[in-house]
């Protein structure tokens, strides 16, 4: 029996604002960060979970992880995993903390880190990667992991069991594909950050084409002429008939009418989808944009969102309203593996493909498991998964892409454990002599303007 001894949060930040990696229409100078939740036990096993943020907000999430910790410290792991759905409800039921959610914001980001750390720990004790833990479950066992509160008008436990049972056809073939590293095709955003110059963008696009990628995403959403220039360059490299797919991402900068007008004006570049055209909370707005882009002179443009959708309830409504063509789940903005599984099932019910959000430190490490689960266990349909080629060297078991596909992770756990030296190097504020944030170079980042001037 493994008993949870302690839980510690760690504030880890990498200074990506120095070279504008991660920059987009909304986020000018992100520092890719991770609020870690590290579980120690009375055994050799530890659990590592994290939530992705882009800098200062990390401090709040770490504080919230510390506040959730007493709910599990001292408990045997078996007691928590025996009825996971019940445990998930328990972890969201400290009403004084629920008040500052519910199921959203800082407290939910912290829950994601804690729940994922528990899955990491559990998977390690079972000697399996997280995707395999789920792939080895019966439909009933998967459904037992879920909390159906607020979603039974769209999906009941009985329907979920039926969907999972139906998806078992062809499962062995899909499992074999996963073991050949052919289950999860990757797409790349590496060339597409808004702060990158034209030459850097062009050479990165050429490089990623040569590496075997066929799906490419670019940031848009500042100035229309600027966007046209960048998409022209992209299409010069990618062509229109070479089997390359282009996607664009506006990171919520537009109102609904602006989104429709701006994308109608970019339709000639034939993007597959526009990601986050407006506020992630605007369900009816997304439905209106989808309608407004169903017909353009160059064919329809699909609508995608999800990286900042707070929970299964918002996803349910996006699906019920017919507001999205592509669902972009995030591994840790919602409450960890359990809520992700619920949302994968909702997407399956509404026949909408899942393309997880992975543009951030640690996210590809997580989402490689989720896309593998979606393919083998839930949808049975191949999708694509974002891969950004930054910061993987800091992980003990980094995610990898070969021949345009994710290499299926085989190590036990959920893959976000960082190398201890990297963790010390990027801990904020950290110790002098150990942390980058205590160096002279860090002063430039720490004193940079926080917002555009008034």
Q: Is 217 a catalytic residue?
A: no
Catalytic residue among 357, 390, 394, 405: 357
**Distance of closest approach, residue 217 Cβ to Mg ion, in angstroms:** 8
Q: Residue 129: beta bridge partners?
A: 413
**135-165: burial string, b at 16+ Cβ within 10 Å, e else:** bebebeebbbbbbbeebeebbeeeebbebbe
With residue 225 as reference, give the H or E element that holds it.
helix 224-238
Catalytic residue among 104, 108, 217, 219: 219
Interaction with Mg ion in 267-326: which residues (CB under 5 A)?
Answer: 275
Q: Is 357 a catalytic residue?
A: yes
Q: Where are the beta strands (DSSP E) in 78-189?
A: 186-188
Residue 269 is classified by DSSP as G
**Distance of closest approach, residue 328 Cβ to Mg ion, in angstroms:** 7
**Distance of closest approach, residue 316 Cβ to Mg ion, in angstroms:** 21
Residue 454 and residue 440: Cα distance in Å, rounded?
A: 28
Q: CA dihedral defined by 394, 400, 404, 409, rounded to 10 degrees?
A: -140
C-alpha pair distances (Å), 327 with each of 323, 354, 374: 10, 5, 12
**Distance of closest approach, residue 306 Cβ to Mg ion, in angstroms:** 9
Q: Which residue has the tokens 């944009």?
A: 289
Q: Residue 304: beta bridge partners?
A: 275, 326
**Distance of closest approach, residue 304 Cβ to Mg ion, in angstroms:** 8
**Is 31 or 249 the residue whose CB approaches Mg ion more closely?**
249
Q: Are 363 and 164 in contact (CB under 8 A)?
A: no
Residue 386 is a binding residue for Mg ion (CB under 5 A): no
**Is 103 or 249 the residue whose CB approaches Mg ion more closely?**
249
Window of 114-122, 206-214, 247-255, 443-451 that interacts with Mg ion by CB under 5 A: 247-255
**Is 308 or 407 the residue whose CB approaches Mg ion more closely?**
308
With CB under 5 A as the rule, give the number of residues binding Mg ion.
Answer: 2
Window of 3-11, 109-117, 248-256, 422-430 that interacts with Mg ion by CB under 5 A: 248-256
**Is 336 or 356 the residue whose CB approaches Mg ion more closely?**
356
Q: Which residue has the tokens 């969102």?
A: 305
Residue from 147, 177, 227, 249 touching Mg ion (CB under 5 A): that is 249
**Is 163 or 231 the residue whose CB approaches Mg ion more closely?**
231
Which residues does the annotation mark as catalytic?
219, 357
Which residues here bind Mg ion, judged by CB under 5 A?
249, 275
């Amino acid at each position: 029996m493994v008993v949870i001894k302690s839980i510690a949060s760690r504030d880890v930040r990498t200074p990506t604002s120095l070279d504008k990696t991660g920059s987009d229409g909304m986020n000018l100078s992100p520092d890719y960060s991770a609020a870690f939740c590290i579980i120690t036990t009375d055994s050799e096993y530890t659990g590592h979970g994290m939530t992705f943020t882009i800098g200062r907000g990390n401090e709040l999430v770490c504080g919230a992880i510390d506040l959730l910790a007493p709910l599990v410290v001292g408990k045997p792991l078996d007691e928590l995993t025996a009825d996971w759905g019940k445990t998930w409800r328990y972890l969201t039921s400290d009403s004084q903390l629920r008040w500052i959610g519910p199921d959203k914001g800082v407290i939910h980001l912290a829950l994601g880190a804690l729940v994922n750390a528990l899955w990491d720990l559990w998977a390690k004790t079972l000697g399996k990667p997280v995707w395999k833990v789920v792939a080895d479950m019966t439909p009933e066992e998967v459904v037992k992991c879920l909390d159906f509160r607020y979603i039974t008008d769209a999906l009941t436990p009985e329907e979920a069991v039926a969907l999972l049972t139906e998806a078992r056809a062809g499962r062995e073939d899909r499992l074999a594909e996963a073991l050949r590293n052919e289950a999860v095709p990757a797409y790349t955003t590496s060339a597409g950050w808004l702060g990158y110059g034209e030459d850097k963008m062009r050479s990165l696009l050429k490089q990623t084409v040569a590496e075997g990628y066929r799906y490419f995403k670019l940031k848009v959403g500042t100035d229309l002429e600027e966007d046209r220039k960048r998409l022209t360059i992209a299409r010069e490299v990618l062509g229109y008939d070479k089997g390359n797919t282009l996607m664009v991402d506006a990171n919520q900068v537009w109102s609904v009418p602006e989104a429709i007008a701006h994308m109608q004006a970019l339709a000639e570049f034939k993007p597959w989808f526009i990601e986050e055209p407006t506020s992630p909370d605007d369900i009816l707005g997304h439905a209106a944009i989808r309608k407004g882009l169903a017909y353009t002179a160059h064919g329809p443009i699909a609508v995608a969102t999800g990286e900042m959708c707070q929970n299964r309830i918002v996803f349910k409504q996006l699906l019920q309203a017919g507001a999205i063509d592509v669902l972009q789940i995030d591994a840790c903005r919602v409450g960890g593996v359990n809520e992700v599984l619920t949302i994968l099932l909702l997407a399956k019910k509404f026949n909408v493909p899942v393309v997880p959000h992975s543009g951030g430190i640690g996210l590809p490490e997580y989402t490689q498991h989720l896309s593998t689960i979606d393919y083998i266990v839930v949808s049975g349909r191949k999708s694509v998964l974002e891969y950004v080629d930054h910061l993987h060297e800091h992980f003990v078991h980094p995610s990898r892409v070969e021949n345009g596909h994710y290499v299926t992770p085989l190590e036990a756990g959920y893959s976000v454990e960082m190398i201890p030296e990297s963790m010390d190097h990027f801990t904020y504020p950290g110790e002098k002599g150990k942390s980058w944030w205590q160096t002279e170079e860090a002063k430039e980042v720490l004193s940079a303007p926080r917002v555009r001037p008034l």
